Each structure stands twice: as C-alpha cells, then as structure tokens.
Chains A and B, each alone.
Chain A
C-alpha cells in the first residue's frame, strides 16, 4: 500500500512539473519521425533498411539519455533539497520507497511516451502512408528501453550525493552503454580466438540494455539476416523460444536489478 501511495505522490509531482511536458513534445516528435520515415521506406523493400537503422539509432541515443537524466536528477534533487530526508523519517521499508518511486516515474513516462506515439499513429492512420507494424515494434521496444533505464536512473539518483553528481554519473553511464560498450566488445571479439566470438557476443547482448533492445528490435522486424552468416547460430537461437525467454528474463533483470541494488544502498545509507 505504501508503494502505491509513494507512486501516486510521484505521479502527482511529475505531472505538476514541466519536464514531463517537454518529454511529451520530444516523444511526439520522435515517434512522428519514425512514422514519417518508415512510411517513406514502405513499398519496394521492407524490413531492416538503412532508414530503419537510423530510426532505431535515434531511439537508442535519445531515450536512455532522457530517462537517465530525468530519473536520477529528480531523486538526487530530492536528496539535495531535503525532501528525501524528510521522507526517510517515516517508518518506510527502503524497497517499497524505491519501487514506489520507480512505479510513479514509470507510469508518468509511459503515459507520455504512449501519448507521443499515439498522436503519431493517429497521423499514420489519417494519411495511411506509414508502416504500422514497425511503429508498434518501436513503441514496445521504446517502452522497455525506458523502463530499464529508469531503473538504472533510480540507482544513479540514490548513489549520487546531489544533482551535479547525478548528472555526471548519468552521462557517463549513457556514453558507456550507448557508445563505448560496442567499441569495447568489438575489441574484445577481435582479440578473442574464433571459438569464443559467438559466446562473447551472445553474452554481451544481455549485459547491456541498449544492445538488448537493438538486437531484438532487428530480430523482431525480421531483419535477422543483417547480422550475417558468421553469427548465424546466434540469430537462429535468438529467434527461438529460448532466445525470446532469455530476452524477457534479461529485461526483467535489468528492471529489477538496479532497483534492488538501490534499495540496499539506501538501507546502508540509513545506517550510516
């Protein structure tokens, strides 16, 4: 019950603040671009093309950044101006506090994201030139991406002492997951003996939410051939039920893991 009270409080605050409206605008523009340009590619060739790749990259760049910054800054801000300290004087389990905050923020973000995609799909059906299926996959995957990074952002917020620290850690995590991770993995697989390449790549997908979303979006829209013959076995496996299950499990873990970690952190912080 406390979870829900905290979540409701969070939603109220979120809707009172301005950042949510900015996000609404951003998401509308983002999904509008997806709708518009996916419509452009419909016709002679469908599936995973350079345009689709660009659209996917757009989401992969923007959504983690926005989510990481908003979540961590909000929580770090509460810490900074003492609201968090006030809240902690109440007899609350740290886990229910964390989960409540997460649910509240998640509901606000999901609402805003859905609003953006909803407005765009209205346009899509109005002018009937877009690719509905692609939009649907993008929407679902964007939601997942937002949830995973929101969980991370809660962790960052709890970890950091203030807004500035949260900003720094958030941007570092963003750059690591979106940019550095792939270069590191490329280096690792180039150095590894050929027998190890496939296992390393497979594991690497699940260790980074951005990779998880990127790879499985490509698979879901039927562009698995894009990954090429040398990792054919991975494509086959990832397309199977086991691969889908692993995807779901990884997504759940990426949401639950950072929340549990931040709850532990907070508990320790209370003791200190």
Chain B
C-alpha cells in the first residue's frame, strides 16, 4: 500500500516522442536513468537504440511501433533491479554471441514482462538467478537459420517460482529451457518450429499445463530432472525421425495427465525413467505410440487411449506391465470380449507382434508396414497366437472405449464379396425371367 502511494505521489514520467522520420531518436538510456524510482515511463512510437540497462524498479510501457533496436550489440535490455515491469515493446536485433538476449533478468525478482515482441534476438528472455517473475503474452522468435545457431526462447537458469503463461514462441532453439530451476509454472504457451518446445534439465517440481506444442523436433524433453507434472498439453506434429511428443530421460516422479499426443513420429518415450504415472492421455495417430529404452521402474498406465498409432508400442530394455495393477488402457488394435461386463477384456493385450519383433532387428522392414502381405501375416498371427500374462502386456485392457473402430480389411472384403454376389444373383434372376 505504501509502495502504491509512493508511486502515485511521484509524477508520471512521460516521454512524448513524436517518432517522425528523420528526427533524431530519443536517448532511451538517459530517459531511464533520469526517471525516478517506481515511476512509469510511457514511450511513443519510434525506434530507440539499445542496448539498455535498467537498474531500478521502473515500469516501461510501449505500444504499437515502439521498437528497441539492439543493433546486434550484446543483450538488448539488461535488468538488474527487482520489480521491473516491461510491456508492449518490440525488442529486436540482439548480438549473436552466446547468451545474448532480447531481455536479461539478472539475479532479480518479481519482474513483470508482458505482451512484448521479440524479433531477431539470439535468446528471447534470459533469466539468470532470482525468480518469481511473471512472463506473459510475449511473442518470441530468433534469427533464421538452423536451430543449432539460435538461442532459446525463454531460458531459465537457477531461477524459481516463475510463471510463464500464454507466450507464443517460434523458431528458436528450445522454446523454454529450464535448467536447475524449480517450482515454475508453464501454462498456455504455444511453441512451434523449434528444437525442443519445453526442455527440462536438472530441475525439480515444475509444472507444464495446457501448452500447445507443435512442429518442433521434440515437444517435451525432460532430462535428469524430477517432479514434473505435465497436464492437459497438446503435443502434435513432431514428425522428425528422431522426434518425440514427450521424452522422459533419466527423470523421476513424472505425472502425465490428460495430454493429447497426436501425430508425432514417437508419441511418448520413457528412457530410464522412474515413478511415472500416465493417466487419461490420448496417444493417437503417432507413428509409434509409446517407446521404452533402458531401465524403467515403477511405471503406471491407466485409462490412456492408444488409437490409430501405426505401431502401438516399441518396448525394449527393462519391461513392465502396461497397466497399474488394477486397470489398463484402451488399445484400438485389441479385439476381445468382456464376458463379465466389468469393462475389462478377458484376454491380456499383447502389443509386440512377430512383425514388430522382426522390426527391431531389421529396421528397414518398416517399409512393409501395413502392406498387404504384412496385413495377412498379422491377421494370421492374431488368430493363432497364444497370449499369456507376461511383461509388455496390458493385463486389464479396456473394451468399453470402443467407438470408431478401424475397419479390418478382411471384413470389408466380405462386404464387397457379398455385394458382388448379391448383384450377380439379381442379374441372374432377371436373365432367367427374360428367357
């Protein structure tokens, strides 16, 4: 309250810059230096030269056409004070060196960075140390070129309790890179056309909610971290051959709840993960639904929908049951009966077919995936296979999620044959009547 009063007491410090062409641009650094603590600086449209340094609590408000041009010289705006608020700026042309960013929050707390545009910057927002920032509604993209030459959209290094919401990030290396940082919330961000959309490293207790991640190499990459809650995100179109919707690598205590993992090359991958709960995810239309490698322990899967994946699972390394010990998942290639009406099929679901086992040894056989000959082989195999209770199976596959079933071509063949037969019969009858 006191702070607010102080802020009110101070006259609003407003810079009226006409922003006409040919006029000498205002020296924004001097304006900031001269502005009193806790004041509000409103900028008129125009291009202001960076780099800038903000070393006191201040509010900077831009608007349409307010451009800060870093002139490819280091970081465009460096913040070295708590309680700085920046909104409505277009920040462009940072240097291309390592860790040079559009905005650097250097060991400070509680910055509010809202509705800014970062364009042609190496890194978008670089947060080093400190925390409790609110970063919302920003649009970030880096320089063009291969992603390995670009920086990250929002880079969190040793910073905690930040809220990153509703940002749109495109064409960077990693959309949000979370390194040695904990208790951050990432919500409602849209990240595309980058390497990894969300990249967790050595971090704990972070949450990713309702983000839309698409067309990156990999959607969520969790490495050497713990305590990640991934909820209601949409991860789609990660179609690169080495791309994943979600990749959990040497990470423990992960909750994956109600995500939509659609049309990726690999939907979800567990590689040496510990204590993973997967519940009610829709893993659909991926080339491979779930892949596992290495030693995965304490994995629980329940009520996930595995639908329209060309290969449902590709399991290697330490195997586990594809259920939670009481209930399982819906698999669209599962065919069985539920005799006692509890919604669980009477025969365990076994996903590894002879073909997919052959595929491990001869990856090029993927060329014949779902081809006529393979289709016949797999149908025959299903008819004659003995399904036992073993690792890599879902002991409690759900049957009541049955809806739009992919047609088995065999049944369609019968429909066709039936129709042809009917027609033939009809014509024969007519001919007989004629003669």
Contact = CB atoms under 8 A, between A and B. Distances in A.
A37 B409 CA distance: 11
A155 B242 CA distance: 46
Interface in A1-47: 18, 21-22, 25-26, 29-30, 33, 37, 40-41, 44-47
Given A25-B423, A26-B420, A229-B242, A61 B370 contact: no
A54 B365 contact: no
Contacts of A229: 241-242, 363
Nearest to B423: A25
B285 A47 contact: yes
Interface in B333-360: 333
B418 to A, nearest CB: 9
B298 interface: no
B362 A189 contact: yes
Nearest to B265: A225
Nearest to A210: B372
B102 to A, nearest CB: 34
Interface stretch (A119-127, A133-141, A176-184): A176-184
Contacts of B287: 225-226, 228
A53 B370 contact: yes
B128 to A, nearest CB: 37
Contact of B407 (A51, A186, A231): A51
Interface in B247-289: 260, 262-263, 265, 282, 284-285, 287
Interface string B26-54: 00000000000000000000000000000
A180 B415 CA distance: 25
Contacts of B263: 45-47
Contacts of A57: 370-372, 375, 409
Interface in B289-334: 308-310, 332-333
Contacts of B406: 37, 49-51, 54
A21 B427 contact: yes
A231 B376 contact: no
A272 interface: no
A84 interface: no
Nearest to A27: B416
Contacts of B309: 50
A190 B372 contact: no
Nearest to A48: B310
Contact of A22 (B285, B366, B412, B424): B424
A62 B416 CA distance: 9
A182 B364 contact: no
A145 interface: no
Nearest to B368: A182
A209 to B, nearest CB: 13
A218 B312 CA distance: 19
Interface string A49-92: 11101110110111000000000000000000000000000000
A201 interface: yes
A229 B181 CA distance: 35
A54 to B, nearest CB: 4
B373 A49 contact: no
A227 interface: yes
Given A49-B285, A189-B362, A54 B368 contact: no
A260 B374 CA distance: 33
Nearest to B361: A190
Given A26-B419, A41-B308, A226-B310, A179 B427 contact: no
Interface residues of A, number: 51
Contacts of B423: 21-22, 25-26
Contacts of A55: 407, 409
Interface string B385-423: 000000000000000000010111100110110011001
Nearest to B308: A49
Contacts of B282: 44
Given A45-B284, A58-B409, A61-B409, A26 B366 contact: no
Given A26-B416, A30-B416, A45-B263, A228 B285 contact: no
A264 to B, nearest CB: 31
Given A45-B284, A51-B407, A232 B371 contact: no
B101 interface: no
B308 A228 contact: no
B239 interface: yes
A95 interface: no
Interface string A230-245: 1110100000000000
Interface string A168-207: 0000000000111111011001100000011001000000
Nearest to B404: A40
A187 to B, nearest CB: 11
Contacts of B371: 57, 182, 214
Contacts of B260: 44
B241 A37 contact: no
A132 B158 CA distance: 52
Contacts of B384: none
Output the residue of B239, B374, B407 with the most chain A CB within 10 A.
Answer: B407
B374 A45 contact: no
A72 to B, nearest CB: 18
Contacts of B374: 182
B360 to A, nearest CB: 12
B242 to A, nearest CB: 7
A201 B367 contact: yes
Given A61-B413, A179-B373, A227 B366 contact: yes
Given A50-B406, A54-B412, A230 B366 contact: yes
Sorted nearest first, the 10 A-B pairs with minimum C-beta distance are A45-B285, A228-B366, A53-B370, A182-B373, A229-B241, A230-B363, A25-B423, A54-B409, A230-B364, A29-B419
18 contacts: A22-B420, A25-B423, A33-B416, A40-B404, A41-B404, A44-B284, A47-B263, A53-B369, A53-B375, A54-B375, A55-B407, A57-B372, A57-B375, A60-B372, A228-B241, A228-B369, A229-B241, A234-B367
